[in-house]
């Protein structure tokens, strides 16, 4: 199957050519005809499957074919974090280049000027808006956004948005949109709360399901049972005895990210941190350094674990066990893209043992527990029944503004 066979508009095909996308991924092959045919859609797929282009391409096709009315917003894309919104916006810039579609990113985190620029753009209208729920809500509450002729609503990473507590914001945003519209919902998982959301806001949707366990198959997974106090030393040990050109370490809190990064930098290791405390521009430049392999070690909070598209990571270290089993799959999916192999190592402290066992159950695989190196000392035993653990964590997302033709 080629993109041409999917009958995409010539301007969109040109964008694909410029982006170097040669043939559609399975989710694109399935979603494009459904969206072009105006059906609502549930897409169960995770990052790395090409899901972003799976909704951008048919929407751009429609915008390019129809000549939308100027001065109104045609498509609203809601994403959980600004990182993901930036990612969508970047793909959009490439794919939309020849269509002349206009778009506005609406996510917070910048200065006061951003808000007034976003306001101006929302008042004047644009073909596509990519935004985070909180920031979109603040604008919609003020009543100037030209959403009364909106035709497409896309919710990306819906499960993550609900986990982050955005349900009410999403429902409030939707209550202001025209009822006659096409709605697309993408989610990595389909827990009952997402089914309910889909039932409430979609009409007779088609459903596409791209198997979740795929990226994990090529990943070599292992775990260490550790006490918290042993974790920093264990990271240093792994780096001392392995040549890892590209490593991401995910930790649960900003403080841990900061402390670990400092400890690695003190060892003269090429490590930098990325967390929601950093300015948007700093985060992007660190991500770019990492993608271009100038930076070897990226230490990050959960915020970037989903949605961010970094290829060819050799190893992911879960400094803490991720909150959800799905997050584990997402994180280790950062490695072993394309045909390469990747490694994923998880540090399990006593509190996290119960949660880790639930991950093993979800992926239907028992992950090898590697004994700690002698220099690190004895770790705890593995007894998930004894150490149930598993409290929730909350995430935050803010953003920035940019307008473009
Ligand atoms: P996503 O799952 O949307 O995060 O996309 C993952 C990565 O695949 C991104 O870097 C996209 O630019 C890339 N991608 C998406 N569709 C294609 C395609 N058809 N051919 C090649 N690369 C693609």
Best probe residue, ligand 1, of 31, 52, 154, 291 (max atoms within 8 Å of C-beta): 52
pLDDT in tens, 322-347: 877 767 887 887 776 544 678 899 99
Sequence-distant (≥ 6) Cβ neighbours of residue 355 within 8 angstroms: 321, 323, 389, 390
Return the residue whose CA atom lies nearest to atom 12 of ligand 1. Answer: 91
d(CA 8, CA 11): 8
Q: How far is the CA of 195 from the centre of ligand 1 (A)?
A: 26
Any ligand 1 atom below 6 A from CB of 49: yes
For the domain covering 3-209, report its CATH number: 3.40.50.300
Best probe residue, ligand 1, of 25, 29, 45, 210 (max atoms within 8 Å of C-beta): 25
Q: How far is the CA of 68 from the centre of ligand 1 (A)?
A: 26
Strand partners, 274: 300
Any ligand 1 atom below 6 A from CB of 52: yes
Return the residue whose CA atom lies nearest to atom 6 of ligand 1. Answer: 48
DSSP 3-state of 342:
strand
Nearest to 337 by CA among 50, 7, 19, 125: 50
Alpha helices in 242-383 (DSSP H): 254-266, 280-291, 325-332, 353-363
Ligand 1 atom with the smallest distance to the CA of 23 is 19
Which CATH number does the domain 219-369 belong to among 3.40.50.300, 3.30.420.40, 3.40.250.10, 1.10.1060.10? 3.40.50.300
Query: pLDDT at residue 396 above 50?
Result: no
DSSP 3-state of 203:
coil
Residue bearing the bigger pLDDT, 335 or 24? 24
Q: How far is the CA of 383 from the centre of ligand 1 (A)?
A: 40
pLDDT in tens, 138-161: 999 999 999 999 999 999 999 989
pLDDT in tens, 232-289: 999 999 998 888 889 999 999 999 999 999 999 999 999 999 887 888 788 889 989 9
Q: Taking the model in full, what pTM does it have?
A: 0.62
Return the residue whose CA atom lies nearest to atom 5 of ligand 1. Answer: 50
Topology agreement, domain 3-209 and domain 219-369: yes
Q: How far is the CA of 283 from the centre of ligand 1 (A)?
A: 21
pLDDT in tens, 190-235: 888 899 999 999 999 999 988 654 445 678 899 999 999 999 999 9
94 — pLDDT class (breaks 50, 70, 90) = very high
d(CA 342, CA 355): 23
Instruction: Specify the DSSP element, H or E, that contains 180.
Output: none
d(CA 139, CA 159): 23
Domain ranges of the chain: 3-209, 219-369
């Amino acid at each position: 199957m080629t993109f041409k066979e999917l009958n995409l508009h010539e301007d969109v095909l040109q964008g694909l050519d410029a982006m170097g996308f040669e043939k559609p991924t399975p989710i694109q092959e399935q979603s494009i005809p459904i969206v072009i045919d105006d059906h609502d859609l549930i897409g169960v797929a995770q990052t790395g499957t090409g899901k972003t282009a799976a909704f951008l391409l048919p929407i751009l096709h429609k915008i390019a074919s129809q000549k939308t009315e100027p001065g109104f917003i045609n498509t609203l894309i809601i994403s959980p974090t600004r990182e993901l919104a930036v990612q969508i916006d970047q793909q959009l810039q490439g794919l939309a280049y020849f269509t002349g579609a206009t778009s506005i990113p609406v996510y917070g985190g910048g200065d006061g000027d951003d808000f007034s620029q976003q306001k101006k753009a929302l008042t004047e209208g644009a073909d596509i808006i990519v935004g985070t729920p909180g920031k979109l809500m603040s604008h919609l509450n003020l009543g100037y956004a030209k959403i009364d002729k909106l035709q497409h609503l896309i919710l990306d990473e819906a499960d993550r948005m609900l986990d982050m507590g955005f349900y009410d914001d999403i429902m409030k945003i939707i209550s202001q949109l025209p009822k006659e519209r096409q709605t697309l919902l993408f989610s990595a998982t389909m827990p009952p709360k997402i089914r309910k959301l889909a039932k409430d806001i979609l009409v007779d949707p088609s459903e596409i399901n791209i198997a979740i366990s795929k990226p994990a198959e090529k990943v070599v997974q292992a775990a260490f049972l550790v006490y918290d106090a042993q974790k920093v030393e264990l990271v240093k040990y792994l780096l001392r005895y392995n040549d890892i050109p590209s490593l991401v370490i995910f930790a649960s809190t900003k403080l841990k990210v900061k402390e670990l990064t400092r400890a690695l930098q003190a060892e003269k290791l090429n490590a930098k941190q990325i967390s929601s405390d950093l300015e948007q521009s700093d985060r992007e430049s660190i991500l770019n350094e990492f993608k271009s392999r100038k930076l070897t070690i990226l230490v990050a909070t959960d915020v970037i674990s989903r949605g961010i598209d970094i290829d060819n990571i050799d190893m992911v270290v879960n400094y803490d066990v991720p909150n959800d089993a799905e997050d584990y799959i997402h994180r280790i999916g950062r490695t072993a893209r394309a045909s390469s192999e990747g490694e994923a190592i998880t540090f399990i402290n006593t509190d996290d043992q119960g949660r880790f066992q639930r991950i093993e159950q979800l992926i239907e695989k028992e992950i090898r527990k590697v004994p700690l190196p002698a220099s690190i000392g004895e770790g705890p035993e593995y007894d998930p029944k004894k150490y149930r653990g598993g409290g929730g964590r909350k995430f935050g997302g803010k953003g920035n503004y940019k307008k473009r033709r």
